[in-house]
C-alpha cells in the first residue's frame, strides 16, 4: 500500500499548540480577539491535516466556530486538533480550545471549531489522503458526526450553484 491508501487513526493526527495571551491579542476590555483565536485554530487544524495527509494542505472552509467563554490576557490557551473526516482529497479537523489560568490551574473549554482542508501535491493539484479509521467507539461516533457535517456542507454547496 502507498502512503495515501494506508488508513490512519484520528489519534495519529492529533496535535496541540499552546500560547500565552498577551495584551496585543486583546481588546480594551482584556478579552482576546475572536479573530486571533480563529487564526490559531486554523494553524492547529492545518497541522493535524498535514500530519494525516503527509502533504501540504490549504483551508477551504471554516464550518463552524462556537465561542463559549471569553479568553483573557494572561491565559494560557491550548488548542488541540484532530482529523475527524477524510474524503478523497479533503479532510475535516475538529479543534478544541481551552483557556487556563496558569496561576490557579483552572481550565475553561472556550471554543470548538470545524475546519475543512484540501491536501495538495507539490504542483498544487489536489492530493489523495489516507482513509480515516476509528480507534474506539467514541472515535467512530465522532467520525459519523463528521460525515453528517460533510454531507450537509455538500448539500449547501449544491444549493448555491
Per-residue pLDDT of the chain (161 residues; tens, 9 = 90+): 445 678 999 999 999 999 999 999 999 888 999 999 999 999 999 999 999 999 999 999 998 788 999 999 999 999 999 999 999 999 999 999 999 999 999 999 999 999 999 999 999 999 999 999 999 999 999 999 999 999 998 898 888 77
Gyration radius (Cα) of the chain, Å: 17
- CA 63, CA 76: separation in Å to the nearest integer? 25
What pLDDT, on the 0 to 100 scale, is given for residue 66? 86
- CA 65, CA 153: separation in Å to the nearest integer? 15
Q: What is the dihedral of CA 111, 119, 52, 38, to 10 degrees?
A: -10
What pLDDT, on the 0 to 100 scale, is given for residue 4? 65
pTM, two decimals, is 0.92
Q: What are the structural domains of the chain?
A: 8-159 (3.10.129.10)
What pLDDT, on the 0 to 100 scale, is given for residue 112? 93
Amino acid at each position: 500500500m502507498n502512503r495515501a491508501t494506508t488508513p490512519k487513526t484520528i489519534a495519529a493526527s492529533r496535535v496541540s499548540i499552546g500560547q500565552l495571551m498577551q495584551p496585543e491579542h486583546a481588546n480594551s476590555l482584556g478579552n482576546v480577539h475572536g479573530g486571533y483565536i480563529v487564526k490559531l485554530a486554523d494553524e492547529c487544524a492545518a497541522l493535524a491535516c498535514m500530519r494525516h495527509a503527509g502533504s501540504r494542505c490549504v483551508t477551504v472552509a471554516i464550518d463552524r466556530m462556537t465561542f463559549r467563554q471569553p479568553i483573557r490576557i494572561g491565559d494560557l490557551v491550548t488548542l488541540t486538533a484532530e482529523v475527524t473526516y477524510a474524503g478523497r482529497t479533503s479532510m475535516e479537523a475538529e479543534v478544541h480550545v481551552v483557556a487556563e489560568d496558569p496561576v490557579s490551574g483552572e481550565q475553561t473549554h472556550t471554543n470548538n471549531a470545524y475546519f475543512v482542508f484540501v491536501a495538495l501535491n507539490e504542483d498544487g493539484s489536489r492530493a489523495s489522503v489516507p482513509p480515516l479509521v476509528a480507534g474506539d467507539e467514541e472515535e467512530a461516533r465522532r467520525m459519523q458526526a463528521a460525515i453528517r457535517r460533510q454531507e450537509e456542507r455538500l448539500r449547501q454547496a449544491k444549493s448555491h450553484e
